[in-house]
Structure formats: C-alpha cells, structure tokens
Structure 1
Amino acid sequence: MEIKTGTIISLNIGKSINIADTGEREINSAIYKSPVLEDILSLTKNGLQGDEQADLVNHGGFDKALCVYPFEHYQYWQNKLNKDFPMGSFGENITLAGMLETDTNIGDIWEIGEALVQVSQPRMPCYKVAKRHDVVKLPLYIQETGYSGYYLRILKEGDISVRDRCILKKRSSNISIAYINQITYHDKANMKAKVELTNLEELAESWKRNIQIK
C-alpha cells in the first residue's frame, strides 16, 4: 500500500450561535469555526476539544465526529466568488493539504498524533454554509464541483496538534469520496453503484439511507 500523508494547515473549532437574521425563530449553528491557538488538543469520540455542534442530527455523533476540508479548494472558491475564505470557512475541524476527495477512500484509517481516525462519509453541504458566506448557491456549487470535504470517526482517542501529519495506515476499500459524490448527486439512476455503496460496511448508515431515498 502506498504511504500517503496529509499536512494539517489548521485545526478549527467553533461555538454554537444563532445565525438567523430574523426574529421568527433561532437557527443555531457552529459553522463559524476558526483556527485554534493551542499547541495540543484532545480528540475524543465526540470530537475536538473546545468544539461544539448545534445540529446533532446532521452533524456530530460517532460517524461525524471530525470534519475535514481540503486546503487545495480554498483558492478555487476565492477565485470563483471573489472573496476571502479564512481557514475553517467550511465548518471543518481540520483544514488539510494532500488528501483530496479523489485521494481519500471510505474506510481509510489515519494516524494523527496519538489518535486513530477513519473516513466515514462525504460532508453534505447545507444552507448554513451558504448563510455564513452570503452565497445562496454555494451548496449547489459544492455539489457540482465535488469539493465537499468529508467526515471522520474516531477509533482511538488521543492528543493531536497542528504540527502532526495525517498518515494513511490502512485502506480497506477502493471507493473514494469523489465517487460517492458522483453517484449521490450526478448519477442517481445508477442502481448497481447504489447497491455497492449500501453494502460498503465502513460507509456511514445515514449516508446509505440518503442514497436509497435519492
């Protein structure tokens, strides 16, 4: 197996806040994440030390304990939308270079510092990332490009640092995050592929249910 490594550009955390601009009802979200100053953070099965999740149905939990977004996409969005995107702009806990959606497979196990993590599913773009950047079509653009990012589950808790590298320790499938995005958003009639994904043990159950509905 090829030894792949990723470089952590930023570790990001955020608190749950009300992002609604009307008084009708609150919309709580922790989409506003920013780089941490601490050298070392604790990573548990519930996520990164100091981070919060407001919507525990669609974010957080065992299969979505940690969100990753590829650093390489930042330049694309800045050019396309003509605006600045600071690290953490996509609600990710790890801004990571070297592990794109095309390079990253479901079930991949990485070592980060003392921790072991496993790739569980793509990140599904929602209206909250559009709200943060005041770009209504941003979730659609993310679907079109496949620049989604992805989630990790925590297999072994431990301390991690922005100085650590993500080291691929085990690869158990040849199904990439990019492939899953393609089937989910652009090739919905491909039932053979949907069955293949449904039978993929390491893919999060919530994503399996989602592709069965679409």
Structure 2
Amino acid sequence: MGKMIHALSTGLPKEMKKDGMKRSIVTGIKKDRVEEVFLTKDGFKGDDVADKRNHGGPDRAVCFYPLEHYKKWEEELGRVLPNAAFGENLTVTNMLEENVYIGNIYKVGTALVQITQGRIPCSTIDQYTEADTLLKRTIETGFTGYLARVLEEGTITSQSTIELVEEHPEKMSILTCNQVYFANEDWKAMEEIASIEPLAEDWKRRLAKRMDRLKQQS
C-alpha cells in the first residue's frame, strides 16, 4: 500500500481556552487543512509553535501522525476528534511508528525530509481534544507520531505522494524508541538509540542524561 497524505495542515499559535481549563494558553496545536504550502528548513510557511523550547526547530520542522490511530482513539473516547488533533502537519496512511525508522529519508511533494525522533506528547493534546486520557494513552501505546528535519525545501500539496528514498540501515523504529524512552530504565537500549547519527540532538541530550543517571545507580 502506498504512503498517502490524508490531511495537510498548518496553523499559527493562538490563544486557546477550553471548558475545564483554569486559564487560557497560547498554542500552535490547532491547525487547518491547506491545499498547498511551502516547506522550509524551519517548517511550513504559515505554521509555527508557541513553546519553542519543547517544540519546533530544524530537527522538529515537520510533524507526522498516522491516520490509522484516529479510529482507535475515537472508539476509546466515544467521539470524533478534530482535524490534526495531535498538532501534526501531515496526517498520513501506511506510515505507522513500527514501520518508520530514525534516519529514514522521504520525498514528500518536492521536499526531502528525514525522520529524527518520536513526538514527545504534552498536556496540550488533552486540553485541545478535551480528553483527560489521550496523553496517557499515546505514551502507553507509543502511538505518538514523529518528527522530521528538512533536507531539501520544497512545495507539498494535499495530493502529494510520499516516497521512501532511503531506509536507514539501523532500522530503529519510532515505536521501539518510544518504548525505550518512556520506560526510562534500559541504558544499553538508550545507548543504541543515541548512537544513531540522524537522531535529533534534543533526544541525544535527553538520553545522555538518563544514561548517566542509570549508570550511577547500577
């Protein structure tokens, strides 16, 4: 089955106040479908994040989320989720976390992107979807989506094809990375992940800190 774009979405940070929230927050999670957009090294034109410490930047320029998970979450929640509920730019089919490897290079439209890390979800997902379980469940399952850097800028449309140009030889899947990252106890597995050159610098730093701590404890 071919890899397809189900939705191409962008959005700028804006104030969000939902029922049950004590105060409003500024977030870029709400994104609207677009038909065509230019992708730069820093991300899509007309798209941005509010929390630049934990989101965005060249290693996290593009956010993917598999469409297949929506059915599971909607069944669990008993309702339909909004477009790009996880703040993703590309809602895609046939690109599950278990089949996408760190360092994989994909041609999307005329752009070239490289997978860098699993998405580390935050509480904004629960606030945006008005669910109190989605953050916990994405971490438990490892169905977090994933992020990419831009190797070549280009134009992407909602009809663009996604082509695997180069599969990274280490074959370290996003799902495996998530399972190790969130379990937070196997420093040897962390070492293996951290050694993969295309891994996002932020993940390399986070894993290095954890490995040091675990080695000291052992």
TM-score, structure 2 normalization = 0.89
| Stretches of structure 2 lacking an aligned partner (at least 5 in a row) | 211-218
Q: Partner residue of 2:112? A: 116
- Pairs within 5 Å for 1:8-157: 8-20=5-17, 21-22=21-22, 27-36=25-34, 38=35, 40-157=36-153
Match for 2:139: what amino acid?
Q
Match for 1:62: what amino acid?
P
Structure 1 residues 211, 140: closer, same or farther in 2, change over 3 A? Answer: farther
Runs of 4 or more above 3 Å deviation: 20-23
Structure 1 residues 175, 107: closer, same or farther in 2, change over 3 A? Answer: same
Structure 1 residue 28: Cα displacement? 1.3
TM-score, structure 1 normalization = 0.91
Q: Partner residue of 1:199? A: 195
The percentage of aligned residue pairs carrying the same residue is 37
Instruction: Number of aligned residue pairs: give it.
Output: 206
Q: Aligned-pair RMSD on alpha carbons?
A: 1.5
Query: Residue deviations 1:130-166, cap 9 Å, x none?
Result: 1101222321110111110000100000111111111
> Distance between the aligned counterparts of 2:162 and 2:69, measured in 1?
18
SS at match of 2:97: coil
Are 1:10 and 1:35, in contact at CA under 8 Å, matched by a contact in 2? Answer: yes
> Distance between the aligned counterparts of 1:10 and 1:160, measured in 2?
11
Are 2:82 and 2:129, in contact at CA under 8 Å, matched by a contact in 1? Answer: no
Q: Partner residue of 2:172? A: 175
SS at match of 2:98: coil
Are 1:5 and 1:99, in contact at CA under 8 Å, matched by a contact in 2? Answer: no
